[in-house]
Structure 1
Amino acid sequence: MQAYQADIAKFEAANTKVFGISMDAFPSLKAFADSIKVTSVPMLSDWGRTATKAYGLYNETNGYGRRATFVVDKEGKIAKVEAGNTAINPTGAAEACDLLEKKLVVKPPTDKP
């Protein structure tokens, strides 16, 4: 989240919004954001695991969600997905947002997260 906050100007320049979504309850998310001094990225709670399951990120075995970054275009279509360790690096997401803002083609995701 700190890396996304550090690059927030890139996202704003591409007319995009950044949100963090976690399965943790809101009080935990607020404490986490406060502890790492993230103030420009809203944190959303998926306490019921609805979004996590819908996007195929929920691991039934251990009860955890996989890290993922989704770039969603203005029509609500997923334009880019990064899952796993690369999801914490905002570079690919920022580039995809920039391409979308310029109305250039973004290569669609090739594998489901």
Structure 2
Amino acid sequence: MLAISTDFGATLAHWKKELNASYPMLSDHMRTVSEQYGVLIKQLGLSNRATFVIDKDGKIVNIQEGNEAIDPTGADEACSRLAHRKSQ
């Protein structure tokens, strides 16, 4: 798991410490990744909150955007389905 944000690195370092996050937080301050994944809100220069579950082959298997992305349940379920497929 990793987080990507349009915030600058210093801001992300603060949030990582504040949240006691164990996963990497990467800065997309140039908005390149946000634009490539279709979540950039150009008028605001920000990305929409989004969660992508990507399998080992690089295929996006689940996307949640906006308020849905706040609750990790959908992403957790998608990861569980991937793990189940892998074990078969």
TM superposition score normalised by structure 2: 0.90
Structure 1: stretches of 5+ with no match in the other structure: 1-17, 105-113
2:33 aligned with 1:57: no
* AA partner of residue 62 (structure 1): L
Per-residue deviation at 1:96? Answer: 0.5
Bigger relative contact order (CA 8 A; separation at least 6): 1
Match of 2:3 in 1: 20
What is the RMSD computed on CA atoms of the aligned residues? 1.3
Q: How does 1:28-107 map to 2 (within 5 A)?
A: 28-38=11-21, 40-103=22-85
Q: TM-score, normalised by structure 1?
A: 0.71
Pairwise CA distance, 1:28:
0.9
The 4+ residue runs of structure 1 with deviation greater than 3 A are none
- Measure, in 2, the Cα distance between the counterparts of 1:35 and 1:54: 29
Give % identity.
Answer: 43
- Tell me the amino acid that sits aligned with residue 34 of structure 2: T
Kindly tell me the number of residue pairs found equivalent between the two proteins.
86
- State the shift of 1:72 in Å: 0.3
